[in-house]
């Protein structure tokens, strides 16, 4: 069973497991905020997350393997992001991302995100899902995916759809 669980519903132990992934060099080296996040600061931050943001921990077979999030305004996701444990297989992270995109498009019409220029792995991963670069700055790529483009492009992802049909999952927001 795959569970996308709201950070606000996590136990302290689960927060610690999530932070171990977030604070790993593998994740921090490609994050905007490269600092280690302390548990107390993380827990205070969680209490202040407003309703325009959604942060989810991903459990696969009762083990946290990553986090996914978005913030929105006026039916548009202004920014979204993901991170996974270094040992997460590419197929697993691809399926999780597919499900997360589907989840967001069940609520919103346009998704925007940003990827640091130095994170070419993330840029290629986004482009695999049909996400387009709409602007380039000195430090990052600004990306966009519309619901219409997603519905056209996801037919190219048949291999993921076949696997997804075999997975039981739920979103706990």
Instruction: Parse the chain into domains and list their residue ranges.
Output: 2-172
d(CA 113, CA 49): 19
CB hemisphere CA count around 1 (13 angstroms): 7
Binned at pLDDT 50, 70 and 90, residue 122 comes out as very high
Q: How much is the pLDDT for 12? A: 97
CATH number at 2-172: 3.40.630.30
Q: What is the pLDDT of residue 75?
A: 87
pLDDT digits (tens, 9 = 90+) for 74-116: 989 999 999 999 999 999 999 999 999 999 999 999 999 999 9
Please check the confidence at residue 159 and state whether its pLDDT lies above 90. no
Instruction: Give Cα separations from 58 to 38, 69, 77, 127, 171 (angstroms).
Output: 20, 11, 20, 22, 9
pLDDT of residue 156 exceeding 90, the answer is no
* Rounded Cα distance, 36 and 134, in Å: 31
Quote the pLDDT of residue 85: 97
- pLDDT of the residue at 161: 87
Q: How does pLDDT run across 14-69, given as a tens digit for each residue?
A: 999 999 999 999 998 888 888 999 999 999 999 999 999 999 999 999 999 999 99
- Comparing CA positions, the residue from 120, 116, 123, 113 lying closest to residue 139 is 116
């Amino acid at each position: 069973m795959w569970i996308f669980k709201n950070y606000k519903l996590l136990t302290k132990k689960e927060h610690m497991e999530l932070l171990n992934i977030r604070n790993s060099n593998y994740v921090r080296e490609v994050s905007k905020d490269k600092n280690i996040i302390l548990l107390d600061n993380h827990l205070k931050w969680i209490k202040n997350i407003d309703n325009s943001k959604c942060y989810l921990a991903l459990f696969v077979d009762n083990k946290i393997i990553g986090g996914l999030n978005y913030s929105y305004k006026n039916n548009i996701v202004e920014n979204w992001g993901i991170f996974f444990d270094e040992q997460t297989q590419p197929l697993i992270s691809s399926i999780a991302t597919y499900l997360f995109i589907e989840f967001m498009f069940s609520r919103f019409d346009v998704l925007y995100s940003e990827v640091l220029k130095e994170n070419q792995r993330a840029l290629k991963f986004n482009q695999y899902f049909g996400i387009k670069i709409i602007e380039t700055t000195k430090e990052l790529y600004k990306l966009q995916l519309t619901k219409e483009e997603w519905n056209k492009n996801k037919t190219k992802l048949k291999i993921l759809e076949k696997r997804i049909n075999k997975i039981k999952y739920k979103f706990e927001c």
